[in-house]
């Protein structure tokens, strides 16, 4: 990313020299000439094109899982796909943490990058999962008053909550815009031995994701406007599809393939 900053919107004066020196120090292909007379080389352009292509392909091909919210539109595909990305990042985060534990307690050594990498990945997981949770209507909500109100009043509550989300997103973007872009343009690093660009990337990611959350809230409001009233009970915490699969696996007599007493029953019969 520093290569594209230097090409598209280079800082002025000493900031340019600092960013250029930082780019030369971190460049994974230092011997490759930049394309179009700039800093970004073929690898940089290929990585950028790959990210765009992955996002486009993922949003076009993502499918709803059985346990996910049933009613979603084409416009919801972005949030659903980014939710899939968050799920994969959780797996990667767990691998990093397990590797750190193995190296530290089995090999009696340590890493200088695992902690910062975990923080970096966790930040992305937190933001992307928030967008996905908004699309799935799975944020923590208190339905005690909501459920006993008629549908027009429920719509009013939905409008108020959406307005509050939009207000929060506006003021967050307005207040953090200057600092986030300043950190991004100078590609601010974390200041450790590993020195990842956590301030430069996560601050900018907040500015990108929070407006998407607000937009998703508006989409939810429009999508659910004519929906039938839903009354929430303790049974909502159970996945009916999963229960059906468990019943089918266990069997009517309770001695199916997943029954832990199956072996004991068989031995007793013999």
Min mean pLDDT across 44-58, 211-225, 247-261 is at 247-261
pLDDT at 252 over 60: no
The two tokens of residue 83 are: 């939710």
Indicate whether 224 belongs to any domain: no
Alpha helices in the chain (DSSP H): 2-8, 14-26, 42-61, 77-105, 114-135, 151-185, 198-223, 240-250, 262-269
Domain that holds residue 186: 74-219
Query: Both 193 and 101 in a single domain?
Result: yes
Name the 3-class secondary structure at 35. Answer: helix
Of 139 and 91, the one with more pLDDT: 91
What's the pLDDT at 238? 63
Q: Which residues contact 262 (CB under 8 A, 6 or more apart)?
A: 255, 256
- How many angstroms from the chain centroid is the CA of residue 123? 9
Q: What is the pLDDT of residues 163-197, one digit of tens each?
A: 999 999 999 999 998 999 888 888 888 888 888 88
Query: Both 209 and 242 in a single domain?
Result: no
What's the pLDDT at 261? 52
- DSSP one-letter code for 145: T
Q: Please give the average per-residue pLDDT across 49-73, as a whole number.
A: 86
Query: Both 5 and 94 in a single domain?
Result: no
pLDDT at 147 over 80: yes
Q: Report the percentage of the chain scoring pLDDT > 90.
A: 34
pLDDT at 156 over 80: yes
- How many angstroms from the chain centroid is the CA of residue 82? 6
Query: Both 172 and 148 in a single domain?
Result: yes
pLDDT at 269 over 80: no
Indicate whether 68 belongs to any domain: no
> Which pTM does this prediction carry?
0.79
Indicate whether 142 belongs to any domain: yes
Q: What value, to the nearest 5°, has the Cα angle with vertex 258 and ends 257 and 262?
A: 70
Q: Please give the average per-residue pLDDT across 194-213, as a whole number.
A: 91
């Amino acid at each position: 990313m520093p290569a594209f900053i230097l090409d598209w919107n280079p800082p002025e004066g000493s900031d340019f020299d600092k960013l250029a020196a930082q780019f030369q120090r971190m460049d994974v292909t230092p011997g490759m000439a930049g394309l179009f007379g700039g800093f970004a080389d073929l690898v940089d352009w290929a990585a950028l094109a790959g990210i765009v292509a992955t996002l486009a392909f993922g949003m076009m091909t993502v499918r709803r899982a059985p346990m996910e919210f049933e009613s979603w539109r084409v416009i919801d595909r972005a949030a659903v796909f980014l939710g899939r990305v968050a799920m994969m990042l959780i797996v990667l985060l767990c691998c990093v943490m397990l590797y750190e534990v193995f190296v530290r307690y089995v090999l009696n050594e340590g890493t200088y990058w695992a902690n910062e990498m975990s923080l970096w990945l966790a930040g992305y997981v937190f933001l992307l999962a928030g967008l996905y949770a908004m699309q799935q209507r799975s944020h923590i909500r208190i339905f005690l008053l909501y459920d006993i109100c008629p549908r027009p009043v429920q719509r009013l509550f939905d409008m108020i909550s959406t307005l509050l989300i939009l207000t929060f997103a506006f003021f967050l973007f307005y207040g953090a815009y200057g600092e986030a872009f300043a950190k991004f343009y100078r590609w601010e690093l974390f200041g450790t031995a590993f020195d990842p660009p956590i301030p430069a990337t996560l601050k900018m990611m907040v500015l990108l994701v929070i407006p998407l959350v607000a937009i998703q809230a508006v989409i939810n409001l429009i999508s659910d406007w004519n929906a039938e009233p839903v009354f929430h009970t303790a049974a909502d915490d159970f996945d009916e599809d999963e229960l059906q699969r468990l019943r089918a696996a266990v069997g009517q007599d309770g001695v199916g393939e997943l029954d832990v007493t199956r072996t004991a029953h068989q031995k007793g019969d013999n």
